């Protein structure tokens, strides 16, 4: 996979690509480049944004700046770029990112990700250059960089070489193997701690029972059966 992230803060991604699980995927042939939106700006002083027409707070990333950055990087008109690769703008109002979208994007040979700052993008960027707008949650971050890392992390860990064990990503939360439910609870040694025992079934060695128990627990979590598994205060002992 070929991943390009257009950002005002390319150096943030130095840390991201140095993480072991990301490194593993990059070593296995995936390429991730952080491209500085300022590098090819047609404006003086590295300027990339402007005040919104009609007034209002904040600054908006300019369409000519994104046009120049994409043109310079791909050597093609960004209007036609989106017929050859997904071009994703990160925005709090986009399609909510989930495991299904991560899996869909992991099947793509190439992705371009645009990180906004300030009040976001001039809408003509979305209309003419972009295939998808994606949100990692209904809250507003100061920019798309952290959202890009979330998206890249979730996508990259689905690619070969990301995880130590090939099965690890198959039976994880929200996967088809678990019917889209969250993952079942895990326990490790000690088998009893401060009087809190590990469920007996997990120590039984009976793989059929363990599998049934895990499927049940995963489905119960999916149904929101226990507040302690999700939102809300932990249930009383
Ligand atoms: N940019 C700012 N907030 C965001 C969010 N919640 N998701 C994606 N991009 C964003």
103 φψ region: left (φ > 0), alpha (ψ -120 to 50), beta (else): alpha
The number of angstroms, rounded, from the C-alpha of 151 to the middle of its chain's C-alpha atoms is 1
Q: Identify the pLDDT of residue 15.
A: 98
Q: Identify the pLDDT of residue 172.
A: 77
Q: Is 114 in the pocket of ligand 1 (CB under 6 A)?
A: no
Q: Which of 22-31, 170-179, 225-234 has the lowest mean pLDDT?
A: 225-234
Strand stretches in 102-231, DSSP E: 110-114, 132-135, 192-193, 196-197
Nearest-CA neighbor of 128 among 34, 64, 38, 37? 64
What's the 233 CA to ligand 1 centre distance in angstroms? 27
Q: Which atom of ligand 1 is nearest to the CA of 116?
A: 1
Q: Is 90 in the pocket of ligand 1 (CB under 6 A)?
A: yes
Q: Are residues 32 and 159 in contact, defined by beta-carbon separation less than 8 angstroms?
A: no
Pocket of ligand 1, candidates 59, 91, 150: which has the most ligand atoms within 8 Å of its Cβ, to mutate? 91
- Whether pLDDT at 227 is above 60: no
pLDDT band for 118, please (50, 70, 90 cuts). confident
Which residue has a Cα nearest atom 8 of ligand 1? 135
Structure-token pair, residue 60: 């908006």
Q: How far apart are CA 235 and CA 225, in angstroms?
A: 11
User: First and final CA of the chain: distance in angstroms?
Assistant: 47
Nearest-CA neighbor of 89 among 119, 115, 111? 115
Q: Is 41 in the pocket of ligand 1 (CB under 6 A)?
A: no
Q: How far apart are CA 1 and CA 126, in angstroms?
A: 23
Q: How far apart are CA 21 and CA 164, in angstroms?
A: 9
Q: Is 147 in the pocket of ligand 1 (CB under 6 A)?
A: yes
φ, ψ at 131 (rounded to 5°): -95, -30
The number of angstroms, rounded, from the C-alpha of 210 to the middle of its chain's C-alpha atoms is 31
Q: How far apart are CA 123 and CA 133, in angstroms?
A: 11
Indicate the domain borders of the chain: 2-156, 170-222
Q: Identify the pLDDT of residue 226.
A: 47
Q: Which fold has domain 170-222?
A: 1.10.1270
Q: Is 145 helix (H, G, I), strand (E, B) or coil?
A: helix
Q: Is 139 in the pocket of ligand 1 (CB under 6 A)?
A: yes
CATH superfamily of 2-156: SPOUT methyltransferase, trefoil knot domain (3.40.1280.10)
Q: Is 58 in the pocket of ligand 1 (CB under 6 A)?
A: no
Instruction: Count other C-beta atoms under 10 Å from residue 195's C-beta.
Output: 6
């Amino acid at each position: 996979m070929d991943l390009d992230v257009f950002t005002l803060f390319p150096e943030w991604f130095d840390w991201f690509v140095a993480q072991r699980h990301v490194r593993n995927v990059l070593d296995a042939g995936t390429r991730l480049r952080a491209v500085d939106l300022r590098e090819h700006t047609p404006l003086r002083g590295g300027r990339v944004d402007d005040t919104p027409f009609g007034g209002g707070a904040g600054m908006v990333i300019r369409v000519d700046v994104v046009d120049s950055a994409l043109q310079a990087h791909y050597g093609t008109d960004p209007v036609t770029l989106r017929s050859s690769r997904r071009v994703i703008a990160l925005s709090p109002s986009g399609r909510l990112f989930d495991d299904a979208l991560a899996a869909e994007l992991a099947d793509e040979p190439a992705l371009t990700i645009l990180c906004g700052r300030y009040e976001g993008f001039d809408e003509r960027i979305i209309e003419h250059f972009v295939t998808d707008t994606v949100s990692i949650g209904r809250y507003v971050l100061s920019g798309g960089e952290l959202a890009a890392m979330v998206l890249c992390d979730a996508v990259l860990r689905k690619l070969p070489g990301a995880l130590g064990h090939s099965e690890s990503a198959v039976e994880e939360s929200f996967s088809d193997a678990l019917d889209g439910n969250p993952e079942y609870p895990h326990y490790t040694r000690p088998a009893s701690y401060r009087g809190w025992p590990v469920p007996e079934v997990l120590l039984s060695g009976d793989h059929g029972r363990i599998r049934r128990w895990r499927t049940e627990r995963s489905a119960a979590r999916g149904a929101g059966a226990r507040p302690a598994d999700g939102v809300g205060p932990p249930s009383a002992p």
